[in-house]
């Protein structure tokens, strides 16, 4: 009988110790957000995009004239705006995670809303950018440059849409927090936020490759 009574209390004490260690690590800036699974996904995604980036550089070296002409047709202003929108979204996601940790639910919801608006602005701007390219006769069938441009930016846009969906559920989960968030609530939000920052990082690589590199 004593065994059955002591085991739950021992588990509770163990979990409480883990929670305390986590809170201490967060306070001291030693906490790495996200679980191993999300980091495995992120590193896999980064590896795949690295292969894409290498392919672009190899083809650029093989057909410099085609890629130079394609680069000249790229709208740098649109790229700068998209970079601004995603960096702004990431900033407010990061701020939202910080305020979530201390239980400031209302402020966290507002910060995530601003992040969502910034992400939506990226999507709208990308639509107009693509429309402008197609209107000027630049399609995936035009040449190697625009084939890779539309494929890579299209895959990235899919990532943005996934991140926006996650942001919706992050905001919904924040609304369920009463007082301080539970470790489960924190893990979910931190995992989603980590994915969002990965999407931002991928865009910086795309921006440098297609908009800045000559």
The Cα–Cα gap between 192 and 33 comes to: 10
Same-domain status, 13 and 97: no
Domain carrying residue 26: 1-31
Same-domain status, 56 and 21: no
Same-domain status, 53 and 14: no
Share of the chain above pLDDT 90, in %: 57
pLDDT in tens, 125-179: 999 999 999 999 999 988 889 999 999 999 999 999 999 999 999 998 888 877 7
Own/partner contacts of 125-128, CB < 8 Å, gap of 24 or more, are 125/78, 125/81, 125/82, 125/85, 126/82, 126/153, 126/157, 128/78
pLDDT at residue 154 in the model: 96
Same-domain status, 12 and 81: no
Task: Examine the pLDDT at 10 and tell me if it is beyond 70.
Answer: no
| Residue-averaged pLDDT of the chain | 84
């Amino acid at each position: 009988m004593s065994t059955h009574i002591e085991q739950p209390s021992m588990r509770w004490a163990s979990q409480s110790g883990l929670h305390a260690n986590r809170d201490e690590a967060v306070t001291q800036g030693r906490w790495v957000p996200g679980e191993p699974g999300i980091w495995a996904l992120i590193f896999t995604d980064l590896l795949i995009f690295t292969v894409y980036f290498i392919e672009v550089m190899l083809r650029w070296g093989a057909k410099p004239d085609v890629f130079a002409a394609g680069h000249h047709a790229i709208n740098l202003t649109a790229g700068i705006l998209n970079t601004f929108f995603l960096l702004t979204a990431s900033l407010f996601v990061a701020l939202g995670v910080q305020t979530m940790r201390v239980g400031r639910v209302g402020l966290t919801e507002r910060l995530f809303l601003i992040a969502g608006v910034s992400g939506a602005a990226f999507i709208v701007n990308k639509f107009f950018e693509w429309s402008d390219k197609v209107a000027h006769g630049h399609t995936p069938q035009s040449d190697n440059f625009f084939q890779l441009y539309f494929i890579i930016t299209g895959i990235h846009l899919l990532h943005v849409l996934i991140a926006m969906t996650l942001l919706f559920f992050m905001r919904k989960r924040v609304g369920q927090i009463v007082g301080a968030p539970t470790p489960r609530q924190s893990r979910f939000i931190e995992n989603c936020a980590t994915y969002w920052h990965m999407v931002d990082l991928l865009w910086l690589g795309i921006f440098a490759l297609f908009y800045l590199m000559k």
